[in-house]
A and B are shown apart, each in its own frame.
Chain A
Amino acid sequence: MVQSTGGIGGSGRGSGRGVLDRRSILRGALFGAGALAVSPLLAACGSGGGGSTDTSKATGTVTFGSNAAVPQPKGAYQTLFAAAEKSTKLTIKPNWVDHNTFQQNISSYLQGNPDDVFNWFAGERMQFFAGQGLVSDVNQVWDTIGGAYTDAMKAQSKGKDGKYYLVPFDYYPWAVFYSKSLWASKGYTVPQTWDQFIALATKMKQDGLVPVSFTDKDGWPAMGTFDYLNMRINGFDFHIDLMRNGDKWNSPQVKQVFDTWSELIPYYSPGFLGMTWQEGAQQLLNKQAGMTVLGLDQIGTIFTGSRADDLAFFAFPEVNSAYGQDAVEAPIDGFMVARSPKNKAGAFKLLEYFGTAAAQQLWLGSNPADIATASGVDTSKYTAPQNAAVKLITGAKQLSQFMDRDTRPDFADPVMLPAIQKFLNSPKDAASIMKNIDQQAKTIFASGS
């Protein structure tokens, strides 16, 4: 509303026909400048909320910001929305955005005119934006849905202030994946420890396979291996501490992670820095490669149909017996509510529905790449890898998210992504790379938020 005042002020006295066009452009510019100037003001007057909202009388339209513009998840969401509209009597107005674009624009999106409910992730990545005061707490929703969630899941849905900000929906584990039929034909057995893992990789190399179909052109897949190595070598607490505080990057512990990692690099796919994860997954599907460290969410979309049950996995091997295979990397996707939604009661009512096992199972449908976060899902409809995933995750002592969800967004991609690529190019330079990460981490984490 305030923006338009700027527009009118700019239009003033107009004269001359040909110029009118340009003037309107100019007005547009002023309009834009007005909007820019006003947004911080709007930020300041966002109400702090408080008090509960009566969701039983919620009606009308709830807008939904979705990061699932591609056909596969989009179709599942459309099915879910149709069922949700029937169940809640609300109208859902989705706004489909490409996955990466959505993430890239999240800060301006949340500060601008966000949808009532939107897709987001657990972990620091959620806490960071909650800490900026850009989202509403959803404690009230949890009063209703809380019973269906484990304590680990509850912990991952809370901000640093102890309030709930996320309603988890689906998640999936990272693990070491392989093709059951290939392993059966070669007689390989699941390794428990790092030494057995390396021995198996050596054996696969002798058999003419690519032992580990690792790829890192995208930059993020390697983060999963770092996370696991760090949790196996230094334990979950050290890992999370490193991710949240960023103050121990130049330490002997991290050095050991990189040193251990360099033992594995010779077994990676040739040309791995020039390949996408899909190309690597293809090597596993075509039985050119023996195993891969990836998320079920990715590899599960490659092994589909009749091949779905050929996909198997084991937990990332133990390196330090003190920490065994305790921690599991299991990124959680879910929903958040904007700071001042237009239909708060409707948003909460919708989330109460999304938080049920029934809604999650409906969304999962035939999707073999994720599992539901709520308990009470009919697991007989799961594929073998999905059931194994449930077992792996429920047996975990701790859950991590993923590097780009566990650490600050302005550190993960700008600093860690290129640093890890650099390390993979020249593992010998680990020491200087770590020193540099440490220097950059100190300036970024010191800048606060």
Chain B
Amino acid sequence: MTSTDLAGADAAARRPSAARRPRRVRRLTGADRTVLGLMAGVPTLLTVALVWVPALASVVLSFSNWSGFGSFSSIQWVGTENYKNIFTIYPEFPPAIEHNLLWLAVFFCLPAPVGLFLAVQLDKQIRFSRIYQSVLFLPVVLSLALIGFMTELIFSPTQGLINNLTGHAHHHVIDWIGNPSLNIYAVLVMACWRQTGYVMILFLAGLKSVDPSLKEAAALDGAGGWQTFRHVVWPALRPINIVVLVVTVIESLRAFDIVYIINKGTNGLELLSVLVTDNIIGEASRIGFGSALATILLVISLVFIVPYLISMFRKDQNQ
């Protein structure tokens, strides 16, 4: 973000000078330089110190065996053994990957389109629009930890709402929370409930920025509702689509709170983020092993982020 902003500012500063203005404006005073330097330098330093150094340190530590006790000299370097163990003998790893990808797929297929649908409906200035908007957005305000707690209230096998309403609380108990092939879906229902409101509000903001005269023009030309959406509104939403895409990826990869509240992310609710936490933050940590898991999560994130960045930079160059 910073670099593109700066490039923009730079370009803006240069353009008028090339056209008309005398050179004076083009030259930055010493104070300007200092300010610009600090504006670029401080965030860069912070990013390096708080993002890149820890990330690289994780990658480096992933080749080690360290309990976190004692000095750095107690770190043993073990090569790729942590990765080998993760892929061969760590039974929680395959389900964790599976669940993270499932989470991503579900977030793409349900909250994203449903959120868009709701946003389009709410944008039509229907009566009580504000109320619907608040109701649908409300879950986003709740913390995921709270939603995890609500999941338990609703899905708990003997004391939960669903089983008691459907008469499964005492006989033929459906174990929504404890059955490892069911519980991830119970959790996803709740996660989608929240995510839909989030996506809706993003699209709603995008729709507000679509010039109404465009829609009017389309209507005058005899376009129907679907045609207007397809050919006028949707293309105008392009920047928002990218935001929603990124938000969806981020939210599914960082999913953690709900499952951790429910059962600490075991027994069918394994996620990569939970495995990292389990191994690093605990009574005694396996820092190398946990770092290797974190590195795998980093690589998966890069798979989604790099294409996005490439397309962003390509667009910048084209302009």
B284 touches A408 (CB 8 A): yes
* Contact partners of A447 in chain B: CB under 8 A: 65, 67, 76, 286
Q: Answer yes or no: A200 CB below 8 A from chain B CBs.
A: no
* A373-396 with Cβ < 8 A to chain B: none
Given known contacts A26-B49, A270-B157, A104 and B173 CB-to-CB distance under 8 angstroms: no
A36-80 to B contact mask, C-beta < 8 Å, 1/0: 000011011000000000000000000000000000000000000
Say which one of B178-186, B210-218, B226-234, B304-312 lies at the interface with A: B178-186
Given known contacts A111-B69, A270-B175, A274-B175, A425 and B180 CB-to-CB distance under 8 angstroms: yes
A271 touches B45 (CB 8 A): no
- Among B81, B172, B279, B282, max chain A CB count under 10 A is at B282
Q: Answer yes or no: A259 CB below 8 A from chain B CBs.
A: no
* Contact partners of B49 in chain A: CB under 8 A: 26, 29-30, 33
B34 touches A219 (CB 8 A): no
A424-449 to B contact mask, C-beta < 8 Å, 1/0: 01000000010010011001100101
Instruction: Give Cα A398–Cα B277 distance, bound, in whole angstroms.
Output: 35
A279 touches B45 (CB 8 A): no
CB < 8 Å neighbour of B42 from A22, A30, A111, A273: A22
B89 touches A443 (CB 8 A): yes
Tell me the nearest residue of chain A to B281, going by C-beta.
A104
* B137-196 with Cβ < 8 A to chain A: 155-159, 172-180, 183
Q: Answer yes or no: A106 CB below 8 A from chain B CBs.
A: yes
* Contact partners of B178 in chain A: CB under 8 A: 216-217, 271-275
Instruction: Give Cα A414–Cα B174 distance, bound, in whole angstroms.
Output: 27
Instruction: Give Cα A164–Cα B43 distance, bound, in whole angstroms.
Output: 52
A410 touches B176 (CB 8 A): no
Q: Answer yes or no: B133 CB below 8 A from chain A CBs.
A: no
B72 touches A219 (CB 8 A): no
B71 touches A273 (CB 8 A): no
B156 touches A275 (CB 8 A): yes
Say which one of B122-130, B247-255, B261-269 lies at the interface with A: B261-269
B266 touches A26 (CB 8 A): no
B72 touches A421 (CB 8 A): no
* A309-334 with Cβ < 8 A to chain B: none
* Contact partners of A132 in chain B: CB under 8 A: 69-70
Instruction: Give Cα A433–Cα B92 distance, bound, in whole angstroms.
Output: 12
A270 touches B282 (CB 8 A): no
A414 touches B157 (CB 8 A): no
* Contact partners of B284 in chain A: CB under 8 A: 107, 128, 408-410, 449
Given known contacts A26-B46, A274-B175, A413-B278, A16 and B158 CB-to-CB distance under 8 angstroms: no
Q: Answer yes or no: B91 CB below 8 A from chain A CBs.
A: yes
* Contact partners of B173 in chain A: CB under 8 A: 270-271
Q: Answer yes or no: B110 CB below 8 A from chain A CBs.
A: no
* Contact partners of A98 in chain B: CB under 8 A: none
Tell me the nearest residue of chain A to B43, going by C-beta.
A22
CB < 8 Å neighbour of B71 from A26, A40, A433: A40
Do most interface residues of chain A lie in helix, strand or loop, or is the interface mixed? helix
Interface bin, chain A: 35 or more
A44 touches B34 (CB 8 A): no
* Contact partners of B281 in chain A: CB under 8 A: 104-105
A419 touches B157 (CB 8 A): no
Q: Answer yes or no: B38 CB below 8 A from chain A CBs.
A: yes
Number of B residues, CB within 8 Å of A: 53
Instruction: Give Cα A128–Cα B68 distance, bound, in whole angstroms.
Output: 13
* B60-77 with Cβ < 8 A to chain A: 65, 67-72, 76
* Contact partners of A433 in chain B: CB under 8 A: 91
Given known contacts A218-B263, A273-B267, A40 and B72 CB-to-CB distance under 8 angstroms: yes
* Contact partners of A15 in chain B: CB under 8 A: 34
Q: Answer yes or no: B5 CB below 8 A from chain A CBs.
A: no
A26 touches B45 (CB 8 A): yes
* Contact partners of B69 in chain A: CB under 8 A: 107, 111, 132, 134, 449
* A78-122 with Cβ < 8 A to chain B: 103-108, 111
CB distance from B19 to the nearest CB of A (A): 31
Given known contacts A217-B178, A271-B175, A274-B178, A449 and B282 CB-to-CB distance under 8 angstroms: no
CB < 8 Å neighbour of B35 from A16, A23, A436, A439: A16
A43 touches B266 (CB 8 A): no
Q: Answer yes or no: A231 CB below 8 A from chain B CBs.
A: no
* Contact partners of B221 in chain A: CB under 8 A: none
CB distance from A175 to the nearest CB of B (A): 24
Instruction: Give Cα A219–Cα B49 distance, bound, in whole angstroms.
Output: 38
A418 touches B282 (CB 8 A): no
B268-295 to A contact mask, C-beta < 8 Å, 1/0: 0010000000110111111000000000
B71 touches A279 (CB 8 A): no
Instruction: Give Cα A12–Cα B116 distance, bound, in whole angstroms.
Output: 51
- A–B complex contacts, Cβ < 8 Å, 20 sampled: A16-B38, A19-B38, A22-B42, A22-B46, A26-B46, A29-B46, A41-B71, A107-B68, A111-B69, A218-B263, A219-B267, A270-B157, A273-B180, A274-B155, A274-B177, A274-B183, A414-B279, A418-B92, A421-B180, A425-B267
Known: A273-B179, A410-B283. 18 other contacts (CB 8 A): A16-B34, A29-B46, A29-B49, A43-B71, A106-B283, A107-B283, A219-B266, A270-B158, A271-B175, A273-B178, A275-B177, A417-B266, A418-B267, A421-B266, A421-B267, A422-B267, A443-B85, A447-B65
